Amino acid sequence: MSTAATGQAMPECLSMGPSSNDYSAAEGRVLDAVCAGELCDFADGAEITAEEMASWGPERTIRATLLRRLLTAEDGQYAAFGVRLRGAAVDGVLDLQDMSVIHLDLQDCRIATLQARGAAFTGEARFINANFTRDAMFTNATFTRHAMFNHATFIGTAFFTKATFTGKALFTDATFIGAAEFIDTTFTRLVWFSRATFTRDALFTNATFNDDAGFSDAIADSYVFTTAQFHTTRPGPWVARQVTLTGAVFHVRARAAVATLDFDCRQLQAREGALRCPRWCDRSGGCRVPAAAHPVAFQFRACCSQMRRSWGSPRRVRQAHSG
């Protein structure tokens, strides 16, 4: 039986103070798993759908205050394993601002509001298939190891402004219902947005990409890469109603495909490569060259057949232009 439920002495690393025995059954299960260095899976391996997430009640609810104390502890008994949950609902504001956060794994979890401004994630940060029902604030956060947001859904605004990703940043199949802000963000290693959907603006103003920046089969209402810095040979491809690369700098010879109705690449710079005029594809798949295009040392290759396939999904096009 759970040590939390029976009132037995809790390890010092999990002591929450005078009311440390005042846990729900779900929270007791979490504490037992953390003590044992195991994953706490409320779904017991079963598949979890978005509809099920919305109906979760107390039997899966964990207080954000409890989770915060677990994640910011430095006790050697469980810091190496971290906190690993699957199928839980985090109630309240998960406040990790300016904290050092150990290994965190919140798979298939429903998270109301996350405040991680200035947080340092010292272990892996995994939010695979997580559902952020309000704003997710990662401004000025540092991810020292891999950050995984694959299949995550951001219903509010996703703030990653001035964040630093030292490890891989994976957003494959993620859905951004609100705006996605990666302004002044640094991606030290590869970042992957393959098959992601941005229903509003995807803002990468002044972002730095030091490795691969993959957007294969992703779609957005608007991509903004104003004054962004690219150190990768194959960024993109970018499919959106509007793509802005004003003042962007490509530090190596690069090729990219762009499918858009509105393309702005004024003052775009490239440090290597032959002078070419950028081209883009309109929604019908036809390539166009702007009459006043500024020639830059950068080669755009518009793959019309691939772009038509991306535009051809009515569901994703509707999503990209909704809201």
Would you call the peptide bond into 58 cis, given omega within 30 degrees of 0 as the criterion?
no
Q: What's the average model confidence in pLDDT over 282-292?
A: 42
Compare 121 and 273 and report the one with higher pLDDT. Answer: 121
Structure tokens belonging to residue 81: 């394993």
Average pLDDT over residues 9-28: 62
d(CA 40, CA 5): 16
* Amino acid in the structure at residue 271: R
Q: For 49-61, what is the mean pLDDT?
A: 89
- At 77 the pLDDT is 61
Residue 250 corresponds to which tokens in the numbers above? 């490509």
User: Is pLDDT above 80 for 322?
Assistant: no
d(CA 138, CA 131): 15
- At 305 the pLDDT is 39
| Secondary structure in 3-state letters for 36-55 | HCCCEECCCCCCCCHHHHHC
Q: Are 17 and 35 in contact (CB under 8 A)?
A: no
Whether residue 205 is predicted with pLDDT greater than 80 in this model: the reply is yes
Q: What is the pLDDT of residues 151-160, one digit of tens each?
A: 999 999 999 9
Distance CA 236, CA 298 (A): 14
Residue 249 DSSP symbol? E
Cα separation, 308 vs 172, in Å, equals 21
Domain ranges of the chain: 51-320
DSSP string, 61-73: EEEHHHHHHHHH-
Residue type present at position 185: T
CB crowding 218-238: b at 16 or more within 10 Å, else e = bbbbbbbbbbbbbbbeebbbb
pLDDT digits (tens, 9 = 90+) for 100-129: 998 899 999 999 999 999 999 998 999 999
Single-letter amino acid code for the residue at 213:
A
Do residues 71 and 95 lie in contact, with contact meaning Cβ atoms separated by under 8 Å? no
3-class DSSP assignment, residue 288: strand
CB-count burial class (<10 Å; 0-12, 13-18, 19+) for 107: buried
